Structure 1
Amino acid sequence: MTACFVRLQIFMQLQSVNKEIYSTFETCFGASTSRIEILHYLLQHDEVTQTSLQREVNIDPAAVTRHLKQLEASGTIYRYKKPDDQRATWVKLDEDERRHIEQSYKEKSQFIEETLAGFSEKELEHFLSMLNKISQNVSQVTKKNLGGTPE
């Protein structure tokens, strides 16, 4: 096999695995990755302002607002204003939903364990290192293609 062919096979395999993991992950949680990211952030913080949530998650602010409206309508979260600061909108997970999400994390952990079964700790550390290199390379290519300068 030529080096170019091997690289193409690696790239195609990464795409295929990513697609399968993404689909399985969403099925396990019953939500999109954007919504999962929002809920994960809210799970880590008791209450946050909507503005700070929009800054912290890697999602378009308008999309965050849409997700929050849908989550509020379903009773997953609630948004409110504090009496001493009417300018900020605060966001908080419903306690029952918090417990449900924590249970989902247990299922996620099981999915991760089963997905990575058969690898030694050394192999996993090496794999993570390789993935980090790929991520850095993708970031550099993206910056270069967008007219920025690579790090």
Structure 2
Amino acid sequence: MNLRDISKLLYQIKLTNQEITTLFEKETGFSLTRYEMLMFLKEKGSCSQNQIQTELKIDSAAITRHLKILEQKGYVLRERNAENNREVFVRLTDKAIQELDACGKEQDQDRMGISLSLSDEEAEQLSQLLNKLHLNREQERG
């Protein structure tokens, strides 16, 4: 694959990403990053800010900014570790759990909203291809 073909493919991915993430935010009321943060917390329970940062591959300034917004909206509570004042633990509020559940139910009932127009098999293939690209980049770096 030559450089021009690669740039066309990457640009197509970029445009598609912009369109889909804008639709996701419009339909759910959450940015994709904040939704992933909330779902990680929902699945894992209380965890450190560093764990969220590592899992979602977000820099420390961005994670702090996102968590501050989520805290102001009443979705998360942040508490310093009494034994290590530098460590911050984060957990979901009841409000966040209720809104995430309602959002999921609404999207399950109304498939017209966020739809990638892919079959389950196509979505799995896309996921595998994206994982392959990601893993190849990690291997080249490390």
Per the normalisation by structure 2, the TM-score is: 0.70
* Residue 64 (structure 2) aligns with: 65
The higher-RCO structure (CA 8 Å, 6+ apart) is 2
SS of residue in 2 equivalent to 1:115: coil
* Unmatched tracts of structure 2, length 5 or more: none
1:133 aligns with 2:129: yes
How far off its partner does 1:27 sit? 0.7
* Residue 106 (structure 2) aligns with: 107
Q: Deviations over 1:27-50 (max 9, x none)?
A: 112122111111111111221111
SS of residue in 1 equivalent to 2:80: strand
Alpha-carbon RMSD across the aligned residues, in angstroms, is 3.4
Cα distance between partner residues in 1 of 2:21 and 2:73: 24
Letter in 1 for 2:46: E
Q: Deviations over 1:107-128 (max 9, x none)?
A: 3334389736795xxxx32552
How far off its partner does 1:21 sit? 2.4
Letter in 1 for 2:91: K
Q: Size of the alignment, in residue pairs? A: 135
Contact 1:28 1:107 in 2 (8 A): no
Larger Rg: 1
* Residue 40 (structure 2) aligns with: 41
SS of residue in 2 equivalent to 1:62: helix
Q: 1:118 to 1:65 in 2, by over 3 A?
A: closer
Cα distance between partner residues in 2 of 1:51 and 1:118: 34
* Unmatched tracts of structure 1, length 5 or more: 1-6
Contact 2:27 2:114 in 1 (8 A): no
Cα distance between partner residues in 2 of 1:73 and 1:20: 27
Per the normalisation by structure 1, the TM-score is: 0.66
Q: Deviations over 1:90-135 (max 9, x none)?
A: 111111221111111223334389736795xxxx325522552355
